[in-house]
Amino acid sequence: MKKGKGGPGMTKAVIIGAGIGGLACGALLAKAGYEVEVLERNSFVGGRCSAEKRDGFTVDHFVHAFATGSQGPHARVARALGEELTFISRDPTALVVDGRGGRFRRYHQRRDIRPLLTRARMALDMGIKPAHYLGGFRLFRDLLRADDAFIEERDRTTMRDFLLSYTKDEQLHRFFNVLSHMYFGISYDRSSAGEFVWCFRGMFNAADFGYVKGSSGAIPAAYRRGLEKHGGVLRLRTPVEKILTDGGRVTGVSTPGGEIRADLVISNAGIPTTVKLVGEEAVGSDYARFASGLKYTDGSLVVRFFLDRPVLKDPFLVYVPDLSSERMFADLEEGGLPSDPWIFMPVIDLWDPDLVPPGSQLALVGTAAPLRADQAACEELAEMIERRLYAIYPEMKEHVTSREVVGPGYIQAVSGHAGGGGLHRPGPDPRPGRQGQAFAGHSGEGSLPGGDGRWGAGHRHRAGRGLGRGGGRPGGGEASAVTSGQSAVPSMPPGGR
């Protein structure tokens, strides 16, 4: 079976993957006049940004927060498609618990840290030593005011080295190490300072950090509506087996049901998978070498807690573990379990009470885990998290009715990636025994070269240098995927109806 182009004057585009990046790209192309088919191997849309309804709960498959809320790429794409997404913010946004010394230093994170007095309060709350106040002030000033040139110059500096240029304060280093892992899935001595500053600047200048009404699944649902109302087609349970080319030009894709001919093929399947689909000979040896050198970020573990009473009062919890900045992720990088895991926990009903049955509560915990963690290791890590939570919230224990553990293996199966949620590129590091700096990015990024018959894998990641045609930066987490999809659209030839 061969499926050809659509009507006269229309350019046919096939999008591989209906994660939010693929859906965003496909919907925007359909609006711009392309004939679009989005192909998804799973039975649902959204990839890691998805949810399901059961027993009166709407349960995110994974753990999410949305750093720039109504000002960010998720909302911008929805508005461009004529769809509505409602983002919710709270102030204070989160309870931060610092476990250093087992003392549980607690403080509330304000939504807007731009006022100087708010930052002074943060310094006191975090326990920054007075001798480091000036360095801390300069650090936050530059993070908030950084221009693009400042960021570009620091793309190839690790976040750890960037921080050391301001201060050696251990409290700041521990906090920023956790934040690096929340943004990119790697520790601050492996992440790019340029990428980190870009994310931090956007997040804290927007001052709109929070959650989306209707669960994370509301985002792909909005993009799917936008795709279909502009004439695009979504095909679920349709894996792509190969990207077809002829003489250096893309001609379509091959699926178990047959070939689908196209003028454009845009892959949201990640760089390594996309290179396998098209073949190394099509991308050239230099790019194939680059792709093979990319490393997946650390794995993740999700623990869901279902409660019979709303006893938790903090919309987000961030737990900074009782470990030094140097040791915080050392065990993980060596393939072991952390002795004290960091925790990020949204309490879903405090953002949207319609997502749980009346009188109930749902808390989702995300943390780092070894990529190859087996079931026993996942359960051991979940028990560590449970003990920590019950120590922070003693009232929680008697109201937990059930607990679910989602390990890295399931996350990899849903996403189709062999590793964590993103890719990074190791670089040289002068310190003995270290693999060195890395340039973190979402696994769907990096345009790939083509002729008039174009194909690609999303948007240019500037820290990676020369990955393609797009513009801007992806940021961390799911914002990365949407920005990737959004940025691919202007680089395409005119669609025209």
Give burial (CB, 10 Å; 0-12/13-18/19+) of 207: middle
Query: How high is the pLDDT of residue 34?
Result: 96
**Residue predicted with more confidence, 248 or 301:** 301
CA distance 380 to 70: 38
The model's pLDDT over 339-360, given as tens digits with 9 standing for 90+, comes to 999 999 999 999 999 999 999 9
Q: How confident is the model at residue 442 (pLDDT cuts 50, 70, 90)?
A: very low
Residue 475 predicted with pLDDT over 60: no
Check if the beta carbon of residue 492 is closer than 8 Å to that of residue 263. Answer: no
pLDDT category at 455 given cuts 50, 70, 90 is: very low
- Reported as half-sphere exposure (CB side, CA atoms, 13 A), residue 37 has a value of 22
Helix (H) or strand (E) holding 177: helix 170-184
Residue 236, CA distances (Å) to 43, 50, 215, 399 in order: 5, 14, 21, 39
**Would you place residue 4 in the very low, low, confident or very high pLDDT band (cuts 50, 70, 90)?**
very low
More confident residue, 472 or 297: 297
| pLDDT value, residue 366 | 96
pLDDT at 418: 65
Polymer length in residues for the chain: 497
pLDDT (tens digit per residue) in 361-394: 999 999 999 988 999 999 999 999 999 999 999 9
Average per-residue pLDDT in the chain?
86
Residue 193: other Cβ atoms inside 10 A = 24
Domains along the chain with CATH numbers: 2-49+72-85+214-295+440-488 (3.50.50.60), 89-212+296-415 (3.90.660.10)
pLDDT by residue (tens digit) across 221-274? 999 999 999 999 999 999 999 999 998 899 999 999 999 999 999 998 888 889
- Across the range 44-66, mean pLDDT stands at 95
Note whether 105 and 98 are within 8 A (CB): yes
User: Between 413 and 135, where is the model more confident?
Assistant: 135
pLDDT at 488 over 80: no
Segment 328-338 mean pLDDT: 92
Q: Per-residue pLDDT for 471 more than 50?
A: no
Residue 336 has pLDDT above 90, yes or no: yes
* pLDDT band, residue 496 (cuts 50/70/90): very low
What gap in Å lies between CA 192 and CA 157, rounded to an integer? 6
Distance CA 56, CA 63 (A): 19
Question: What separation in angstroms does the CA of 231 have from each of 28, 60, 221, 485, 492?
Answer: 11, 28, 16, 18, 18
Q: What is the mean pLDDT of residues 464-476?
A: 35
Percent of the chain past pLDDT 70, that is, above it, reads 83
pLDDT recorded at residue 248:
83
Q: Which is nearest to 38 in space by CA: 248, 219, 220, 218? A: 220
What DSSP element (H or E) covers 252? strand 249-255
Higher confidence at residue 74 or residue 483?
A: 74
> How much is the pLDDT for 3?
44
Tell me the pTM: 0.88
Provide the pLDDT for residue 377.
96
- Sort 440 into a burial class: Cβ within 10 Å, 0-12 / 13-18 / 19+: buried
